[in-house]
Structure 1
């Protein structure tokens, strides 16, 4: 089914926000966005309203409309949601996963490894979403994955900013490889510790706030 103009405009603007093409604290307007995306003002207004509800755009009547800066406090709350849901899904994933599932995860890791070597950040992130989606689908926790995807808008921008600044670390795929090895051996407690550490390491603000103060609040 062909997506509507409203959906297309919304998806493109959100994609550009998430990938920092539209930068945190950048001033925008309905007319500016309409010109940039080749759309009329109505679908732009609807997209901006929806994005404001998702915490990505700050709309103030009679004032500037800006791309929301990355909130350190929101990142912490998003990580709490991510960690809680991912850790809760581990037992069901281990119970349901098959050799085929684990082989598929291994294949995704190798694709990510190649993307890192070519510095293709978008390709890496696309596979990363598929990797985590498969984990939740296998655990029969599809809604949990949707909750993370819809809420983790600030932490995902943070991850992308770090990747743009210094590239995606190969340590990530090594972590994933170790996780899959633990999945194969059914080491639930060790797997949970790795998931916890992975989130703390790659979805924390760290020194990025000092390097990009205008991007944060």
Structure 2
């Protein structure tokens, strides 16, 4: 299990579960990816303060890559940097949730369209594998969230649009946090798995209209439940 970082301070034994920085990848990128993962999974919640010095010690690096990671997270809208003062986890932006949902729906409909028309259905084998993993997963929201992202990424790759998945990912931090708030809802994970299966069934059958319909139904859940999520988690949301 990863340590949680609350207020920029690692909790638990660093020796027991240290974060391993690889020498084969840029350090700032690794720090950014880990912090982003903690933010979108709500290990780090809106309003938490992050300390460059404490995080540098946590990752075993200088403050420079931590500062670079903060700048990237600020570009993503996930932190608010106050120069010479503090860095805070940004609240969930309702506007960004809605705009990202629009972007993602538009692209995923095109992906489903492409795959349904394709004669080579072997392309979706990785997505079928991801669906099987979801069906046998622990149903723990944090684990399932990663499998869910991997499923959708595999469809973009199958359609030849991996670069567009990266566009979606870069803009999805606020929407992903909403999804993390939704997943613990009783029956939510089972419903997502069922919808994934329906999407693949329609693609496999080359049923374009049904595939697009299932994509719309699947992705609409976040917005349909948004008001309730905001009401139950008002402290996490901004404008």
Please give the secondary structure, in 1, of the residue aligned with 2:25: coil
Q: Could you say which residue in structure 1 is the equivalent of 2:156?
A: 136
Please give the secondary structure, in 1, of the residue aligned with 2:136: helix
CA pair 62-7 structure 1, distance change in 2 beyond 3 A: closer
Please give the secondary structure, in 2, of the residue aligned with 1:108: helix
Query: Which whole-Å deviations, capped at 9, do the CAs of 1:39-72 have from their partners, x for residues lacking one?
Result: 3211111110111011111112344421011111
Structural RMSD (CA): 2.1
Equivalent of residue 167 in structure 2, options 130, 143, 147: 147
Question: Whose helix fraction is larger, Structure 1's or Structure 2's?
Answer: 1
**CA deviation after TM superposition for structure 1 residue 165, in Å:** 5.8
Q: Could you say which residue in structure 2 is the equivalent of 1:214?
A: 235
Q: Distance in 1 between matches of 2:119 and 2:104?
A: 20
Q: Distance in 2 between matches of 1:153 and 1:167?
A: 24
Q: Could you say which residue in structure 2 is the equivalent of 1:31?
A: 53
Q: Could you say which residue in structure 1 is the equivalent of 2:20?
A: none
Higher relative contact order (CA 8 A, sep 6+): 1
Q: Distance in 1 between matches of 2:65 and 2:126?
A: 39
Aligned length: 215
Equivalent of residue 100 in structure 2, options 66, 71, 78: 78
Q: Is residue 227 of structure 2 the alignment partner of residue 177 of structure 1? A: no
Gap runs ≥5 in structure 2:
1-22
Q: Please list every run of at least 4 consecutive aligned residues from structure 1 whose deviation after the TM superposition is greater than 6 angstroms.
A: none
Please give the secondary structure, in 1, of the residue aligned with 2:134: helix
Q: Could you say which residue in structure 1 is the equivalent of 2:3?
A: none
Equivalent of residue 88 in structure 1, options 83, 104, 110: 110
**CA deviation after TM superposition for structure 1 residue 190, in Å:** 1.7
Bigger mean CA offset, 167-176 vs 153-162: 167-176
Q: Could you say which residue in structure 2 is the equivalent of 1:18?
A: 40
Q: Distance in 2 between matches of 1:104 and 1:61?
A: 45
Q: Distance in 2 between matches of 1:50 and 1:79?
A: 21
Query: Which whole-Å deviations, capped at 9, do the CAs of 1:132-152 have from their partners, x for residues lacking one?
Result: 122112222222211111111
Report the TM-score, using the length of structure 2 for normalisation: 0.81
Report the TM-score, using the length of structure 1 for normalisation: 0.89
CA pair 124-193 structure 1, distance change in 2 beyond 3 A: same
**CA deviation after TM superposition for structure 1 residue 183, in Å:** 1.1
CA pair 36-206 structure 1, distance change in 2 beyond 3 A: farther
Gap runs ≥5 in structure 1:
none
Q: Distance in 2 between matches of 1:9 and 1:143?
A: 22
**CA deviation after TM superposition for structure 1 residue 166, in Å:** 5.0
